[in-house]
Amino acid sequence: MGISGIDFVHGCSAIGAGLALIAGIGPGVGQGIAAGYGASAVGRNPGARSDITSTMLLGQAVAETTGLYGLVVAIILMFVKPFD
Amino acid sequence: MGILLAGDISEQFMIKGVLKMPFLFLGQEVWITDSILSMILISIILIIFAIICNKIIKKAKEIPTGIQNVVELVVEMIDNMVKGTLGDNAYRFRNYIGTIFLFILVANLSGLLGLRAPTADYGVTLPLGIFTFIIIQFQGFKNSGINNFLDLFKPTPILFPINIIGEVTTPITLSLRLFANLLSGVIIMGLWYGMIPVVFRFGIPAALHAYCDLFSGCIQAYVFSMLTMVYVSQKL
Q: Do A62 and B220 touch (CB under 8 A)?
A: no
- For A59, the closest chain B residue by CA position comes to B223
Q: For B188-208, what is each residue's pLDDT tens digit?
A: 888 887 776 777 777 788 888
Instruction: With cut-offs at 50, 70 and 90, classify the pLDDT of residue B16.
Output: confident
Instruction: Please report residues of B whose CB lies closer than 8 A to that of A71.
Output: 180, 183-184
Has residue B58 been placed in a domain?
Answer: no
Asked if A64 reaches chain B (Cβ–Cβ under 8 Å), the answer is yes
pLDDT score recorded for residue B12: 63
* B122 vs B130: CA distance, rounded Å: 12
B8 pLDDT higher than 80: no
Mind telling me how many Å the CA of B8 is from chain A's nearest CA? 13
Share of chain B above pLDDT 90, in %: 15
In a domain, B45, yes or no: no
Residue B103 domain flag:
yes
Count of the separate structural domains present in chain B: 1
Q: Is residue B189 included in any domain, yes or no? A: yes
Domain extent at residue B145: 66-235
- Which amino acid is residue B143, in one-letter code? N
Domain assignment of residue B38, yes or no: no
d(CA B203, CA B196): 13
Residue B24 lies in a domain: no
Question: Following DSSP, what letter does each residue of chain B receive, concatenated?
Answer: --TTB-SS---TTSBPEEEEEEEEETTEEEEEEHHHHHHHHHHHHHHHHHHHHHHHHHT--SS--THHHHHHHHHHHHHHHHHHHHGGGHHHHHHHHHHHHHHHHHHHHGGGGTSPPGGGSHHHHHHHHHHHHHHHHHHHHHHHTTHHHHGGG-S-GGGHHHHHHHHHHHHHHHHHHHHHHHHHHHHHHHHHHHHS-GGGGSSHHHHHHIIIIIIHHHHHHHHHHHHHHHHHHHT-
Residue B61 forms part of a structural domain:
no
| B104: in domain | yes
Chain B hits for A62, Cβ within 8 Å: 177, 223, 227
What's the pLDDT score for residue B43? 92
Q: Does residue A82 have a cis peptide bond before it, meaning omega lies within 30 degrees of 0? A: no
B41 shares contact with chain A (CB less than 8 Å) = no
**Residue A49 C-alpha, separation from nearest chain B C-alpha, in angstroms:** 16
- Which residues of chain B lie closer than 8 angstroms to A68, CB-CB? 176-177, 180-181, 184
Convert the pLDDT of each residue in B142-180 to its tens digit. 888 888 788 888 788 888 888 889 888 889 988 999 999
Is ipTM strictly over 0.90? Answer: no
